[in-house]
């Protein structure tokens, strides 16, 4: 059967790391409050010369190198972001040019923190439809640029970064590698719970992130548990078959609650929120790359990716590494 296989991964972080204690010098908060409520200990914040596009390019380069693939052998780039370099052109085209690519399709996907799941699902569908053979799928963000640094309820939660997969069309056996099943969802009625209060066609300004944290938390736990079961059912697998969950890294307590709902031990969750905070669309590929490079995710492992974000949008994807 034809499947999209993950043949390389890469990630990139800004140069500057900001600890909770350093943040508490600028914002009315404390290391203790942030750790207890979120599990976050530090985050990386982009310097003025670092952008979503430059982080995305670095992550894509690392993924190409990991895969042993040249840009000349790539025929698709899908980039998930809610913080593009410019309103247009799409940041994916900037990355294509920076990598020395030309001619093939490159576009952005906007589904906020679920963006990487949407981008991966889109690239996988295009590959299986015969529209592409080898794609770079990227999640990249500079959320520090849309944070209200006066709002301690949100500014402590996020960080900047990028992660990338190289995926390739391959003929594989039933129990072979590749993406097995993906489910994506959206419910626009919850748009006011998590949004940015600006935009090109409304205020004409970029705006700042606004969030009703408690309600987002409640929806996230319910929606994620549901979509994980849907994907497992579609693939004919159960929770016990999963080797690793690579979740969107929003908050350690959401990860804990999701693991408990599925009856999975926390040891099977890849957790990087303590180091990176919430990097929105970048968090899933960043965490995957960390767990692959440190030897946790091995070839043949069954890995569940999942995310939920503004919209609301949410989704999950089950793959064999
Ligand atoms: N430092 C110190 N005190 C703070 C801070 C801070 N950074 N932020 C809020 N507080 C105070 C509040 O002012 C409030 O004080 P009060 O009781 O005197 O009024 C108190 O802490 C409790 O505030 P809540 O907002 O009710 O705190 P809560 O326990 O809900 O935790 C949090 C807030 C961490 C945001 C939580 O709601 C949460 O994790 N929500 C999930 C949202 C999330 O992760 N979103 C990410 C984007 S969406 C996604 O990726 C899934």
The full set of domains in the chain, from first to last, is 2-171 (3.40.47.10), 178-320 (3.40.47.10)
Determine the Cα–Cα distance for residues 7 and 177; give it in Å rounded to an integer.
10
Query: Which run of H or E residues covers position 85?
Result: none
Sheet containing 160-171, strands listed edge to edge, beginning at the edge strand earlier in sequence: 2-12, 160-171, 134-142, 76-80, 106-109
The rounded Å distance from CA 184 to ligand 1 centre is: 27
**Token representation of residue 320:** 């064999």
**Closest Cα to atom 31 of ligand 1:** 37
Distances from the Cα of 20 to the Cαs of 23, 25, 33, 144, 184, in angstroms? 5, 9, 9, 15, 34
Residue with the smallest CA separation from ligand 1 atom 15 is 153
19, 103, 129, 312 from 220: Cα distances, Å: 26, 39, 31, 9
> Which pLDDT belongs to residue 262?
87
Nearest CA to ligand 1 atom 29: 37
Which of 152, 157, 196, 213, when mutated, tests ligand 1's pocket best, judged by the most ligand atoms within 8 Å of its CB? 213
Q: Structure pTM?
A: 0.97
What is the set of active-site residues? 113, 248, 278
Q: In what order do the strands lie in the sheet with 313-320?
A: 178-186, 313-320, 302-309, 244-247
Tens-binned pLDDT, residue by residue, of the chain (321 aa)? 999 999 999 999 999 999 999 999 999 999 999 999 999 999 999 999 999 999 999 999 999 999 999 999 999 999 999 999 999 999 999 999 999 999 999 999 999 999 999 999 999 999 999 999 999 999 999 999 999 999 999 999 999 999 999 999 999 999 999 999 999 999 999 999 999 999 999 999 999 999 999 999 999 999 999 999 999 999 999 999 999 999 999 999 999 999 998 899 999 999 999 999 999 999 999 999 999 999 999 999 999 999 999 999 999 999 999
| Cβ < 6 A, ligand 1 pocket | 29, 33, 37-38, 113, 152-153, 156-157, 194, 211, 213-214, 216-217, 220, 248, 250-251, 278, 308-309
Please tell me the predicted confidence (pLDDT) of residue 228: 96
Q: Which of 80, 10, 3, 7 is nearest to 315 (CA)?
A: 80
Across 144-177, b (16+ Cβ under 10 Å) vs e yields bbbbeeeebebbbbbbbbbbbbbbbbbeeeeeeb
């Amino acid at each position: 059967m034809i499947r999209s296989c993950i043949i390389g991964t890469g990630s990139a972080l800004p140069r500057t790391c900001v600890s909770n204690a350093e943040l508490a010098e600028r914002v009315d908060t404390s290391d203790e409050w942030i750790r207890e409520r979120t599990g976050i200990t530090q985050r990386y914040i982009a310097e003025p010369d670092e952008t979503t596009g430059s982080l995305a390019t670095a992550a894509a380069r690392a993924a190409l190198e990991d895969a042993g693939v040249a840009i000349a052998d790539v025929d698709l780039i899908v980039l998930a972001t809610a913080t593009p370099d410019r309103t247009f052109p799409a940041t994916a085209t900037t990355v294509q040019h920076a990598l020395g690519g030309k001619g093939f399709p490159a576009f952005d996907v906007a589904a906020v923190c679920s963006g990487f799941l949407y981008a991966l699902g889109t690239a996988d569908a295009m590959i299986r439809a015969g529209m592409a053979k080898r794609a770079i799928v990227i999640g990249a963000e500079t959320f520090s640029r849309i944070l209200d640094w006066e709002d301690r309820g949100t500014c402590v939660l996020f960080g900047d970064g990028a992660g990338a997969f190289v995926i390739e069309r391959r003929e594989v056996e039933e129990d072979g590698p590749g993406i097995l099943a993906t489910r994506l969802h959206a419910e626009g009625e919850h748009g006011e719970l998590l949004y940015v209060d600006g935009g090109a066609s409304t205020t004409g300004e970029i705006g700042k992130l606004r969030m009703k944290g408690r309600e987002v938390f409640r929806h996230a736990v319910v929606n994620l548990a549901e979509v994980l079961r849907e994907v497992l059912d579609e693939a004919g697998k159960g929770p016990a078959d999963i080797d690793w969950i690579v979740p969107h890294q929003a908050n350690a307590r959401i990860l804990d609650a999701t693991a408990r709902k599925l009856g999975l031990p926390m040891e099977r969750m890849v957790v990087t929120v303590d180091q990176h905070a919430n990097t929105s669309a970048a968090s899933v590929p960043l965490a995957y790359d960390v767990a692959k490079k440190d030897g946790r995710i091995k070839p043949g492992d069954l890995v569940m990716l999942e995310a939920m974000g503004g919209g609301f949008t949410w989704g999950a994807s089950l793959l064999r590494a």
